[in-house]
Amino acid sequence: MLGPATLAALLALASPAPEDPALVGGADPWTAAQPGCGEARWCFGIALHVVQRDEELVQTPAWFARQLAEANRHFASIDTGFELASVEALDAAYAQVVTREARDEAGRHRFTRGVVHVFLIERLGDVDAPGEQIRGVHWRQRSKIEKRWIFLSGISSDMVLAHELGHFFSLPHSTYAISIMNKRRRESPPREARTFHPEEIQRMRKARNEMLADQMLVAREK
């Protein structure tokens, strides 16, 4: 007899993905609001998917601009930046992503190599603590782990995209006091002084070069 999780996974695979609506207001307000890669040598694109419910988007261009600016500030340490490559509406069926199956399904038909796919949603469930929610996650499709993307929820602070991109660039959670990959509460150093630890920077450089070599990421022309 199939368990509930297995049955849900099979139903998700059998059902076509919801058809995403046209983006309210178009892409221009989004692209105009976003910071670019600046002087970073390596510039990578973000493919953005924003949940749209009742003709309204769950996040604003200004909200994402703050996330992107913070990510670029931290990734300057490896001469890397990010800019918006595309933005599209995401069906309201993905407003709340609370299971592993839903995380897989959101990106399964939208993933492409060369860019970082980011999904902006209302609520992201903690799959290890049902009923709880989290700010963001770097997720690998379980049946094909080379396919991966990032979720940001409505409770994300400005540093969450930078943290999840750290995971995308191979970093685990850390215990370095200075690191934005350290999830523990602490008073020192102050939040505004936190960034990547030198050992993390070295690891991210290696990961970036590997992703360039196998075209998981493709540098954008500046």
Output the domain CATH number for residue 164. 3.40.390.10
pTM: 0.91
* 104 domain residue, yes or no: yes
- Structurally, the chain folds into a number of domains equal to 1
Range of the domain at 184: 45-212
Residues 215 and 44 sit within 8 Å (Cβ to Cβ): no
Please choose, from the candidates 153, 144, 162, the residue with its C-alpha nearest in 3D space to the C-alpha of residue 120.
153
Q: Residue 2 has what pLDDT?
A: 41
* 222 domain residue, yes or no: no
Q: Residue 54 has what pLDDT?
A: 85
Rounded Cα distance, 24 and 39, in Å: 32
Kindly report the backbone phi and psi dihedral angles of residue 113, in degrees, each rounded to the nearest multiple of 5, phi listed first: -80, 160
Each residue's pLDDT expressed in tens, for the chain with a length of 222 residues: 444 444 444 444 445 667 898 998 888 989 999 999 999 999 999 999 999 988 899 999 999 999 999 999 999 999 999 999 999 999 999 999 999 999 999 999 999 999 999 999 999 999 999 999 999 999 999 999 999 999 999 899 999 999 999 999 999 999 999 999 999 999 999 999 999 999 999 999 999 999 999 999 999 987
The answer to whether the Cα torsion of 138, 141, 147, 153 is positive or negative is: negative
Name residue, tokens 């959101």.
106
* 27 domain residue, yes or no: no
